[in-house]
Amino acid sequence: MASVTADTPVIPTRSAAARFGVPTTLAVALVLLLLLPALGLPPFFESFLYLLCLWISLATSWTIISGFTGYFSFGHGAFYGVGMYTTANLGASLPILVCLVIAAALAALLSLGMGAVIFRVRRLRGELFALLTLAMTIVVATIVLNTPIDGGPGKYLLGVQLPRIYDNSATTIYLLGACVAIGTLAITYFIQYGRLGRGLFAIADDEDVAEGLGVPSYRYKLIAFAISSAIAGVIGAVHAIFVSYVTVSETFSSTVALFVILMSVIGGMRHWLGPAIGAVFVTTINFVFVSGDSALAARIVIGLALILATLFLPEGVAGFVQKQVHKRRAAASSNTDTAPHALVPAAPVAAAPTATERPILLKGENISLAFRGVQALDGVNFDIRQGEILGLIGPNGSGKSTLINVMNGFYKPDTGRLLFEGHDLAQMPAHRIARLGLARTFQIPRPFPHLSVLDNVMVAAMFGGAAYPQETARRKALETLDFVGLANRAGAFPSELNLHQRKFLELARALVSDARLVMLDEVLAGLTPSEITSAIAMVRRIHGGERTIVFVEHNMRAVMELTDRLIILNQGKLIAEGDPRTVMDDPAVIRAYLGTSDAEG
């Protein structure tokens, strides 16, 4: 591979200031908030600050599941309610900190149970999640109402023991709120820039592709949901003490769900600070309106704000700012832009050992798959040998892409086994197959649209076969982008790339984690003749004499130039296999491509 270009321009590496600055700022903010009561603030000011902390915690925690993964929860109120009723029932007999832990655990358990059910359904998953979380709120409310947890009349919080830090238990509530709010921001910040966050953002953009690159999407969604709910439970447990009287109708009303969505939509859901911005804005508006005794007007304003923000500011304040920053960066870098893609010289081809001498890397046995009666694959047997470039060809609809989808785990075959180093891939989820070192590209590129080119490749580097830690992944991603000629586009978004570049981005994602088997699905389709020449050279360099490649292609020039061996599918059946020149002379193959023997004339 090309040498490391650590100081390639235009790459938005996060500076040391950003990396250490945020945690430091949060720590300082916490200390200031905790010292504030020493000044002897008026009580209403303290309770306003407390409300800010409450909504920052709720909105930010909601964003961990709903903003980062795109799964909208209408049930945040349920987790918050679980927290409230935890203190309402246990607050008198247990120390408050124990109550908070129990509240977090109960809320997390509830979310894990819900998530385990909902996240299994593949179709309609976003909508279903929204509705079932909404439904869950009603169920939880009903259960609380009908059991001694509440029983109907509501619960007074009498005898909750609070430590008096500033000689005033109201201040203690505020201090608890401040700790939870800052803690939530810190957790969300670390999630966003950590491994979990990268996986979640990838899931939000294209869950199937994320899974195919190795992101364990089911587990990650559950983890995010549990963290999000646990925080809601904790702040609910604190808030119960603040209100000192909890009722089912107040606790489980639509207010919480509505407000957290509104705050996040306004502030921006793909940034840890977005919901906090929205929370400050909405809480202030609400405080002003309600203290002016026009709660109804506040509801109308909030409803309108929700609609207008969705229509005109779809990425929120934080998203808008990020976009402006990106634009400015892109404008500044355009001066230093070099030619988009230097032609890669074709590497001399080493005399390869003959195909049959190589050991088998992957063995497909009797693979069949039918879609509603269409037999897409019909008892296909094949071998992929270590280090070869295997051409997979056939007319349109012959099952080539289906076979790729089976090998990478997107489809489960009806019958058959796929043996790869003692593992049967046929029954394995896609992310585990990626982990084993199989990578693929898509015929129509499917980059994550909201992630930069560099981040797109980093997801593959961190979750694919090599599973690099973040900093190594960044370096590897830059190397790979350099290799495919996209180094100077690392900071761009996929929408700013042309088709040729997006195909090379696909390649970079497939290559970055040193996959042992790379499946290239029609990488040449749609390219101009000169782009095809450079792409063929690229494939040869990717192969490097040793990497195993499955090459699906219609362009016969490329197939004959590149492949060591061919397998040919027609109507789901394997009709020929072997040396390219021999296979192409096979009458069955000619029939499949050109028609019956009369046509040969």
Partner 1 sequence: MSATLFGQSVLSGIFAGSLYALMGLGMSLSWRYLRVINIAHFGLVFLAAYMTYEFAGVRGYSALAVALLLIPLFFVLGVIQQVLILRFNVNEFSSLIVTYGLAIIAEAVIQLIWSADFVRYENRALHGNVEVGTLLLPVADILLVVIAVGLCVATWAAMRFTWLGKALRAGLDNPAIAAAFGVPNQRLLLLVSGFSAALASVAGVFVALLYTLAPSQILSWLGVVFAAVLLGGLGNPLGLLAAGMLIGVSEAITMAITAPSWAPVVPFTILILLLVLWPQRV
The H or E element spanning position 70 is none
- What are the counts of helices (DSSP H) followed by strands (DSSP E) for the chain? 24, 12
**Geometric angle at alpha carbon 440, from 383 and 372, rounded to 5°:** 75
For residue 119, the minimal CB distance to partner 1 (Å) is 10
Which residues contact residue 496 at a Cβ distance below 8 angstroms, ignoring those fewer than 6 apart? 330, 489
Q: How far is the CB of 239 from partner 1 (least distance, A)?
A: 22
| Residue with smaller CB distance to partner 1, 315 or 531 | 315
- In angstroms, give the least distance from the CB of 310 to partner 1: 5
CB 32 to partner 1: min, Å: 35
Whose Cβ is closer to partner 1: residue 369's or residue 549's? Answer: 369
Smaller CB distance to partner 1: residue 122 or 581? 122
Residue number, 120 or 581, with CB nearest to partner 1? 120
Min. distance of Cβ 596 from partner 1 in angstroms? Answer: 31
Residue placing its CB nearer to partner 1 in the complex, 113 or 469: 113
Which CB atom, from 134 or from 537, has the smaller least distance to partner 1?
134
Contacts of 413 (CB under 8 A, 6+ apart): 367, 368, 369, 377, 406, 426
Please say which residue, 138 or 332, places its beta carbon nearer to partner 1: 138
| CB of 238 or CB of 302, closer to partner 1 | 302
Minimum distance, C-beta of residue 414 to partner 1, in the bound complex (Å): 15
Six token digits for residue 112: 């894990």
- The nearest distance, CB 108 to partner 1, in angstroms, is 19
Question: What order do you get walking across the sheet with 360-371 strand by strand?
Answer: 374-385, 360-371, 415-420, 423-424
SS3 for 86-120, per residue? HHHHHCCCCCHHHHHHHHHHHHHHHHHHHHHHHCC
What are the residues facing 438 on neighbouring strands?
Answer: 517
Closer of 307 and 556 to partner 1 (Cβ):
307
- Report in angstroms the alpha-carbon separations of 43 from 40, 46, 166, 475, 594: 9, 5, 13, 52, 86
Q: Which is nearer to partner 1, 266 or 576 (CB)?
A: 266
Minimum Å gap between C-beta 112 and partner 1 is 14
Place of tokens 């939509």: 265
- Choice between 299 and 573, CB closer to partner 1: 299
Closer residue to partner 1 (CB): 66 or 171: 66
Q: Which is nearer to partner 1, 310 or 324 (CB)?
A: 310
CA 583: distance to chain centroid?
43
| Count of residues making up the chain | 601
Considering the complex, what minimum distance in angstroms separates the CB of residue 432 from partner 1?
21
User: CA 579, CA 390: separation in Å to the nearest integer?
Assistant: 10
H-assigned helices in 313-372: 316-333
Residues 587, 551: Cα–Cα separation, whole Å: 22
Spatial CB neighbours of 520, under 8 Å, sequence gap ≥ 6 = 440, 441, 507, 510, 539, 549, 550, 551, 552, 553
In sequence order, the 6+-apart residues with CB closer than 8 A to the CB of 375 are 368, 369, 571, 572
The radius of gyration of the chain's CA atoms, rounded to the nearest angstrom, is 29
Task: Name which of 315 and 553 has its Cβ closer to partner 1.
Answer: 315
CB 307 to partner 1: min, Å: 4
Compute the least distance from the CB of residue 424 to partner 1, in Å.
24
Containing H/E element for 75? none
Kindly state the smallest distance separating residue 169's Cβ from partner 1, in Å: 33
Q: Which of 446, 469, 474, 482 is nearest to 458 (CA)?
A: 474
Contact between residue 340 and residue 488 where contact means Cβ atoms under 8 Å apart: yes
**CB neighbours (10 Å) of residue 355?**
18
Cα–Cα distance, 379 to 415 (Å, whole number): 8
Distance, in Å, from the CA atom of 520 to the CA atom of 464, rounded to the nearest integer, reads: 16
The residues binding partner 1 (CB under 8 A) are 72, 117-118, 120-124, 126-128, 130-132, 134-136, 138-139, 141-143, 145-146, 254, 258, 261, 265, 296, 299-300, 302-307, 310-311, 314
The three-class DSSP label of residue 215 is: coil
* CB closer to partner 1 out of 59 and 132: 132
In the complex, minimum distance from the CB of residue 263 to partner 1, in angstroms, rounded to a whole number = 13
* 219 strand-pairing partners: none
Q: How far is the CB of 67 from partner 1 (least distance, A)?
A: 13
Contact 434, 186 (CB under 8 A): no
What the block records as the tokens of 73 is 């929860």
Asked if 203 and 167 touch (Cβ cutoff 8 Å), the reply is: no
CA angle 17, 19, 20 (to 5 degrees): 70
The distance of closest approach from Cβ of residue 429 to partner 1 in the complex, given in angstroms and rounded to an integer, is 16
Mapping DSSP to helix (H, G, I), strand (E, B) and coil, where does residue 228 land?
helix
